[in-house]
Amino acid sequence: MRNWVAALVMVTFGAACLPPAAHSSALLPEAGAVSAPLQAVSQASTLTLEAPAQAAAGKELVFSGGSHSSDVILTVRNTAGEILYFDTVKTSLNQYRSAITVPSAWASGSYEVSAASGDSRVTRPLTILASSPQHPNNPDTGSPGGSTGSPGPTGIAVPFAVPAGTDRS
């Protein structure tokens, strides 16, 4: 019993020596203190996409915009949802840009251009207009940069449409 009383005295004395907030059931600021709510600091992931509303085969399409991420994935899909164009673009000073030449293999009609970065995705409609056929001595290969096949300045662009009658070997 004596040990129990000694322990009780020690706990009571220890609690009496602590500052009031340490053993209070509600932690309240001291008189005159200013309290501010904690706020999470986060940089919103902003993604923008600028793309032309229409284009024709053989014409240049320029996709550009802004992103806080270092990479932006650009795609062009047809109405069946098939990816006809794919490019991963590095951002510079939170901006990106990619350009392609519209392949003649893309039929006139409706398409969807999208930019994706992290959890963000932005889409824009694109209409491919009917155009006159290419000159037989300079056919459009459907590759970025037109018939030369050289990639654009922003990275590797991979068109997925293959013109009919093209030898794949």
CATH number of residue 118's parent domain: 2.60.40.1930
What is the span of the domain harbouring residue 71?
54-159
Residue 24 lies in a domain: no
Residue 79 confidence (pLDDT): 94
Residue 17 confidence (pLDDT): 54
Other Cβ atoms within 10 Å of 2 Cβ, number: 6
Tokens encoding 47 = 């993604």
Give the three-class secondary structure for 3: helix
Q: What is the number of structural domains in the chain?
A: 1
Distance from chain centroid for Cα 37: 31
Helices (H) and strands (E) in the chain — how many of each?
A: 2, 8
Residue 118 lies in a domain: yes
Residue 23 lies in a domain: no
Residue 88 lies in a domain: yes
Half-sphere exposure at residue 131, Cβ-oriented, CA atoms within 13 angstroms = 19
Residue 89 lies in a domain: yes
Chain length of the chain: 169
Residue 36 lies in a domain: no
pLDDT tens digit at each of 169 positions of the chain: 566 555 555 555 555 555 555 444 444 444 444 444 433 333 445 899 999 999 999 999 999 999 999 999 999 999 999 999 999 999 999 999 999 999 999 999 999 999 999 999 999 999 999 866 555 555 555 555 444 444 444 444 545 554 555 554 4
Other Cβ atoms within 10 Å of 141 Cβ, number: 20
Residue 137 lies in a domain: yes
Q: Are strands 157-159 and 120-129 parallel, antiparallel or unpaired?
A: unpaired
Half-sphere exposure at residue 46, Cβ-oriented, CA atoms within 13 angstroms = 7
Residue 48 confidence (pLDDT): 94
Which residues are bridge partners to 95 per DSSP? 66, 92
Residue 43 lies in a domain: no
